[in-house]
Amino acid sequence: MSSPRRRIETDVMKMLMSDYDVKLVNDSMQEFHVLFHGPEETPFAGGVWRIHVELPDQYPYKSPSIGFLNKIFHPNIDELSGSVCLDVINQTWSPMYDMVNIFETFLPQLLRYPNPADPLNGEAAALLLREPKTYEHKVRDYVRRFATKEMAEAAVADEEEEPEEEEEEEEEDDDMEDYRYDDEAPGHLEL
């Protein structure tokens, strides 16, 4: 049986040699982005998403982490974080699967057959159940507004900027620690 490290390298090389646009993050074989196109004959057709993939050290014995970087409206994908709720990835993952399976089978199936009974996006699930035509209209609107190749590229840039923003917020919080409340003058901060 091959080691997890060798399997990671093999699966990532398969992805790099496939027709998918794959970019390694920090030259790491365990973290990369894949350009994913919405399946034809679905409301997601024509959409382009940048998918963030992280392979755990125990891969393929432990499932990869998958997330959409640009916005998508789907019951099983968290709109804010892009996290995917996909049974095959999360609970029934098997070492027999590889990364190509995820992009050729699992994600297209998820977009074709959403499961509103197990939602990460309650609004999308409720809309799909109660007003399927309105749901399709909203999905197409999101595709038009957020799922272009330009938006997918911008999503990568946004993800790379996030740590800097968090550091700035931490610095602001640290600055606030330099202030103390003045009991003598309620409502005022004093240095």
Confidence of residue 118 (pLDDT cuts 50, 70, 90): confident
| CA-closest candidate to residue 50, choices 143, 142, 139, 156 | 156
How does pLDDT run across 41-53, given as a tens digit for each residue? 999 999 999 999 9
Structural domain total, the chain: 1
Q: Is residue 24 in a domain? A: yes
Asked which of 4-13, 58-67, 154-163 is least confident by mean pLDDT, the reply is 154-163
Tracing tokens 């997890």 back to the chain, one arrives at: 4
Report helix, strand or coil for 152: helix
How does pLDDT run across 125-157, given as a tens digit for each residue? 999 999 999 999 999 999 999 999 999 888 876
Q: Is residue 179 in a domain? A: no
Sign of the torsion angle spanned by Cα atoms 117, 122, 126, 128: negative
Q: Is residue 176 in a domain? A: no
Q: What is the mean pLDDT of residues 8-15?
A: 95
Domain that holds residue 110: 4-161
Whether residue 18 is predicted with pLDDT greater than 80 in this model: the reply is yes
Question: Model's pTM, two decimal places?
Answer: 0.79
Q: Do 108 and 39 meet the contact criterion of CB atoms below 8 Å apart?
A: yes
At 23, the amino acid letter reads: K
Catalytic residue among 85, 102, 107, 151: 85
CATH code of 72's domain: 3.10.110.10
Q: Is residue 184 in a domain? A: no
The question of whether 85 is a catalytic residue gets the answer yes
